[in-house]
């Protein structure tokens, strides 16, 4: 019988230790090699401008559930450095009407915008490579906007979401 190895090296506490949470102003975040992942934002008002950098490092991800259930939030401007919108990031933000997504986002997680009932038009840049399961569930009048044959176009076709072909409405 052949010996089976699961790990190539011994596991240490550092390997299983959860990431350390850092705080700066209203933001709770973790540092990773790729940049900053925002874990939580406190004191969210109607309009939210997420920062490009924290502690001289680029904000590259919104963590799972980061802004979920923020009932006051109506408009979110995401940083240009953002690459990933995590699972449930905006889940049940019932008054969210507008999201300004950067042209460098590559991934939208599962249920990222589920329950954002007032979201009507969402531009998804062509850089997005994957859109998670149920990303836009519970949004009756949503129209996805993006380029033909993009991930947004494929998602819309597969899930019966209206789609409009257009270029970035926020491009300068």
Are 87 and 132 spatial neighbours (Cβ–Cβ below 8 Å)?
Answer: yes
Contacts of 83 (CB under 8 A, 6+ apart): 34, 35, 60, 61, 104, 105, 106, 107
The whole-number pLDDT of residue 15 equals 60
Q: Is the pLDDT of residue 110 over 70?
A: yes
- Contact in structure between 142 and 163 (CB atoms under 8 Å): no
pLDDT digit string (tens) for 53-80?
998 999 999 999 999 999 999 999 999 9
Q: Nearest 5°: CA angle at 163, between 150 and 74?
A: 100
pLDDT band at 22 (very low <50, low <70, confident <90, very high): confident
Question: What integer pLDDT is reported at residue 167 of this predicted model?
Answer: 79
For tokens 């259930």, name the residue.
69
CA distance 39 to 66: 5
H/E run at residue 156:
helix 151-159
- Residue range 125-171, pLDDT digits in tens: 999 999 999 999 999 999 999 999 999 999 999 999 999 998 776 66
pTM of this prediction? 0.85
Three-state secondary structure call for residue 14: helix
Q: Please state the rounded mean pLDDT for residues 112-135.
A: 96
| Mean pLDDT of the residues in the chain | 89
How many CB atoms are located within 10 Å of the residue 45 CB?
10
CATH class of 20-165: alpha beta
Domain definitions of the chain by residue range = 20-165
């Amino acid at each position: 019988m052949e010996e089976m190895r699961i790990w190539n090296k011994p596991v240490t506490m550092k390997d299983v230790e959860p990431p350390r949470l850092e705080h700066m102003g209203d933001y709770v975040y973790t540092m990773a090699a790729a940049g900053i992942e925002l874990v939580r934002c406190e004191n969210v008002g109607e309009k939210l401008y997420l920062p490009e950098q924290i502690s001289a490092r680029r904000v590259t991800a919104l963590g799972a559930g980061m802004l979920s259930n923020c009932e006051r939030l109506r408009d979110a401007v995401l940083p240009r450095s953002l690459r990933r919108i995590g699972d449930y990031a905006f889940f049940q933000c019932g008054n969210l009407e507008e999201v300004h997504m950067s042209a460098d986002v590559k991934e939208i997680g599962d249920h990222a915008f589920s329950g954002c009932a007032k979201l009507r038009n969402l531009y998804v840049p062509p850089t997005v490579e994957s859109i998670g399961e149920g990303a836009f569930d519970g949004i009756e009048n949503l129209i996805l906007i993006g380029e033909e044959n993009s991930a947004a176009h494929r998602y819309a076709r597969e899930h019966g979401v209206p789609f409009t072909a257009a270029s970035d409405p926020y491009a300068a």
